[in-house]
Amino acid sequence: MASLQIAPARVALRPMTDDDLPMLQQWIGRPHVAEWWDADEAAWSFERFRASYLPRVMAEEKVTPYIVQLDGRPVGFAQSYVAMGSGDGWWEDITDPGVRGIDQFIGEADLLGRGLGTAMVKALVRQLFADPAVTRVQTDPDPTNARAIRCYQKAGFRAVREIVTPDGPALYMLCECA
């Protein structure tokens, strides 16, 4: 039986706080996330994980973390970043300071494939474009992650080309308006 689709009005984003970190590390360890995220992070000690994901540490790297809520319950994670000047070999050809990037996942496996991803990506893109300084939003799924690619297309992204990032091959996708 097909699962019921989730109404976008039930989905909201809030800033991530330090208190969310144990839940976030638990999500990252789940097989449906680890398959497409950095699986090593689940094995890190909590102190190491915390040192990378504390919101104030992420802010130093121009990354903003969010918790996705469904009817007020935390169910997923998203982050946005300023692409230009990311460092470590990331986005070296980007010279437009208005480009933002996004990454995300749903932590609860029973909520996959029900439209939640599309709703949360649309909400995040809308929030980013509310800033007049933002010109484009990019994302870079693994080229074999068909579910994510389809979700981003539904949320308004178009595939531009395959690229190679420091994490390996990716499909570069862009959204130019909310």
Minimum distance from residue 81 beta carbon to ligand COA (Å): 13
Q: What is the largest CA-CA distance in the chain?
A: 48
Question: In this chain, which of 65, 83, 125, 141 binds ligand COA, going by CB under 6 A?
Answer: 141
Rounded CA separation 151/173 (Å): 12
Q: Considering the rule CB under 6 A, would residue 151 count as an interface residue with ligand COA? A: yes
Question: In this chain, which of 44, 145, 174, 178 binds ligand COA, going by CB under 6 A?
Answer: 145
What tokens were used for 70?
């469904």
Q: Considering the rule CB under 6 A, would residue 64 count as an interface residue with ligand COA? A: no
Q: Considering the rule CB under 6 A, would residue 11 count as an interface residue with ligand COA? A: no
Radius of gyration of the chain (CA): 16
In the bound state with ligand COA, the residue whose beta carbon lies nearer, of 5 and 95, is 5
Binding mask 85-114 for ligand COA (x = CB under 6 A): -------------------xxx-----xxx
Strand order in the sheet with 11-15: 11-15, 63-70, 73-82, 99-106, 136-139, 168-175, 158-165
Strand partners, 174: 138, 158
Under the rule (CB under 6 A), what is the footprint of ligand COA?
32-33, 36, 104-106, 112-118, 141, 145-148, 150-151, 154
